[in-house]
Structure 1
């Protein structure tokens, strides 16, 4: 870490219950709240990469497995070598805004681009040596213009005319004595002498832990500032599992997009052992890594079930528009959209592409095209997808290894070909993602046998 990065810290006043070792709330200015709100713009792949080294439970076992699958996948199975870079280091759709944050935790955020080597061509890419449609390659380093706020009143996403109150479960409110008293009262506190003030400065390390805890804990401020040595032990993982069935019930749409999939089931356990999938389904799975968490929550109607990130999302939705630096920023945080040239052809979730740029070259396209919809895997291809979303190229040893690990007899195996759509697409922390997401088909199979 560079020396100037170490010096970047923002002030925070904590209101704590010393007796119970609990952070009740925090008071902060626009700089800290901007950082919190920026969490919604982070793609899932970025979150996994940033938090993998944190000493606490993984944000999502299955998403982590998906990320590792991309890491381990040979580039021979991908459209181009750049596909791996896009999935492992997806671009933030609000990148130019996040460059202005007082504390930056994503070291991949940059305003650097590479222009086509042809002087008569204005096309560019954020990756070097990408082939252009004019037969040139992106090689000339350029930087986009990032304009910082003209005065201290305007922050990145919000204005600085007030202090904000942040509850332990990341509800963000405009600061006022009444709001604070109401929060204390709701938590069962009846006197101010039960509460102490503690002033801290927050840097990259604390923000990284806060990002992780916002997705796996119901009390991230307490976990980060009071229980630093006991974060893992104090996490009640079972209480923060997403309510998968409720989420799916909200995802029914009239969209006709479907992807075919062959399931291999254990008839006795009513469980999906693995799926035999074409490249279209694996493209769809891999595309999850490019989704900003705000757009995922939007697609799930505000209910991700992950930690208390939903409270942060609702805080943006409930905050009066007058407090945002620009009127468009509220909607942008609530639905950041996939960065340009990240959108997948086989997409079942209503995730938008943010600010398409026709001068950007799609690094996935060997012809140097500028289409907004691309592929990640070579077509045609076949893959094995395990119940916990480990993806491997199809081969007999891959499926045999799964069956052996599951201790399943050959007489307990049954195949079922299905078509899935938006109602089955969701983010899960479970280690049995396929069975949970596709439980309808498993239950149907059971009913047909009965």
Structure 2
């Protein structure tokens, strides 16, 4: 496979004259698969890729500082070194599927599986030790995890190989058809085709990284990729205005195809068509819409309702597939949590740098921020799903993640008596 820097895509982009705005782009299935793979990336991977590509300049809210703080945090506070590596280099549950993409952004090493000589203990990390008399670790081949590579004979990943799409400025992906084009034109109140112009762009790794970055902080990521010098500065300066309290109602979800079609005029003529869907690719689509964590990533101390993949049930032996008992899997974190259970206190700064506290560091922080001690007060706040979701949302768009994330909830709390 060609190196990521060598892969190029040709895009036909339709722009609105005089407005420096992209209306849509025509893309093939290879490019569509790369864009859809964004949905499979862990946030830790995105932070690491941004640091690697852009340096230490804050790109995405507080994620850079959160990742850098974890990198500098002493390993003695973690249950195992493997647990720390899981956070610094998180695995993508769809990694084997994404390994067939034409352009791979994620350079995380592929998952490997190891077992002791008796095969009574299995791990995804080489240095994990077990309690067996012979704890020599050897790599084993897992059949189950490679079934996605060979699910069809046409080389598709998430989309059908022969399908083309139109990608709107806010990254909505539609089938390339006259109906989709007219839908986009109506949405943008385009009446005269003479106001549009076409451009052909050659897009590579640099542009894909710009698109990934813009997709997280902007409502016009396609325009930001095509015209980065004009649009991104304004986008990054004003991105905090998009922060809003977390929503859980069903109307916060994106419109489905059925909902979109119901919004079209009821007076339009209709014809009946038969749609043929590739059955073998539906499992890949589920991985985008309902992603799971890789096996072993769920922590006992979690707030979000997350699910992880079931571990592989067989490995490839000399005489064929051999079963792996569920109890054989070693928890790479040690005892179910990333951080040791010892009652160690941590300090989290506004931009989510996690560190162990000391009197000197606290005073130094106050001095750096030029905050008088008399202007500091203590508040106690319970963190649940709503608060955690608000902090997560703020961390993507602001370097003041705690301030912006907790502001709505701190207003509700009465000040403590002195």
Structure 1 length as normaliser, TM-score?
Answer: 0.74
Superposed displacement of residue 425, structure 1: 0.8
Partner of 2:235: 235
Partner of 1:432: 400
Partner of 1:292: none
Relative to 1, partners in 2 of residues 1:439 and 1:233: Cα closer, same or farther, differing over 3 Å? closer
Q: Which runs of 5+ in 1 are unaligned?
A: 252-300, 304-309, 366-370
Query: Equivalent residue of 1:347, what SS?
Result: coil
Partner Cα distance (1:192, 1:203) in 2: 29
Partner of 2:339: 376
**TM alignment of 1:180-329, pairs within 5 A:** 180-225=181-226, 227-230=227-230, 232-239=232-239, 241-245=241-245, 247=246, 250=248, 322=277, 325-329=280-284
Relative to 1, partners in 2 of residues 1:122 and 1:202: Cα closer, same or farther, differing over 3 Å? farther
Partner Cα distance (2:95, 2:408) in 1: 39
Superposed displacement of residue 222, structure 1: 1.8
Partner of 1:63: 63
Tell me the number of residue pairs that the alignment of Structure 1 and Structure 2 aligns: 380
**TM alignment of 1:12-411, pairs within 5 A:** 12-17=11-16, 19-54=18-53, 58-110=58-110, 112-116=111-115, 118-121=116-119, 123-134=121-132, 136-140=135-139, 145=146, 147-148=149-150, 150-152=152-154, 155-225=156-226, 227-230=227-230, 232-239=232-239, 241-245=241-245, 247=246, 250=248, 322=277, 325-357=280-312, 358=326, 360-365=329-334, 373-377=336-340, 379-411=342-374
**8 Å Cα contact 1:168-1:222 kept in structure 2:** yes
Superposed displacement of residue 131, structure 1: 1.5
Structure 2 length as normaliser, TM-score?
Answer: 0.79
CA RMSD of aligned residues (A): 3.4
Structure whose residues are more often strand by fraction: 1
Query: Equivalent residue of 1:205, what SS?
Result: helix
- Deviation by residue 1:50-76 (Cα, 9 ceiling, x = unmatched): 122555974533222211110110112
Relative to 1, partners in 2 of residues 1:14 and 1:302: Cα closer, same or farther, differing over 3 Å? farther
Superposed displacement of residue 189, structure 1: 2.4
Superposed displacement of residue 216, structure 1: 1.4
Superposed displacement of residue 167, structure 1: 0.3
Relative to 1, partners in 2 of residues 1:10 and 1:125: Cα closer, same or farther, differing over 3 Å? farther
Query: Equivalent residue of 1:244, what SS?
Result: coil
Partner Cα distance (1:316, 1:78) in 2: 47
Superposed displacement of residue 172, structure 1: 0.9
Relative to 1, partners in 2 of residues 1:441 and 1:17: Cα closer, same or farther, differing over 3 Å? closer
Relative to 1, partners in 2 of residues 1:401 and 1:317: Cα closer, same or farther, differing over 3 Å? farther
Partner Cα distance (2:122, 2:241) in 1: 42
- Deviation by residue 1:360-401 (Cα, 9 ceiling, x = unmatched): 533222xxxxx7x43334522111112222211121122222
- Deviation by residue 1:17-71 (Cα, 9 ceiling, x = unmatched): 3543332101122222111111111000001111225559745332222111101
Relative to 1, partners in 2 of residues 1:3 and 1:236: Cα closer, same or farther, differing over 3 Å? closer
Query: Equivalent residue of 2:299, what SS?
Result: coil
Relative to 1, partners in 2 of residues 1:234 and 1:386: Cα closer, same or farther, differing over 3 Å? closer
Partner Cα distance (1:321, 1:390) in 2: 50
Query: Equivalent residue of 1:438, what SS?
Result: helix
**8 Å Cα contact 2:240-2:398 kept in structure 1:** no
Q: Which runs of 5+ in 2 are unaligned?
A: 262-274, 313-325
Q: Which stretch shows the higher mean deviation, 65-74 or 387-396?
A: 387-396
Superposed displacement of residue 323, structure 1: 6.8
Query: Equivalent residue of 2:206, what SS?
Result: helix
Superposed displacement of residue 128, structure 1: 2.3
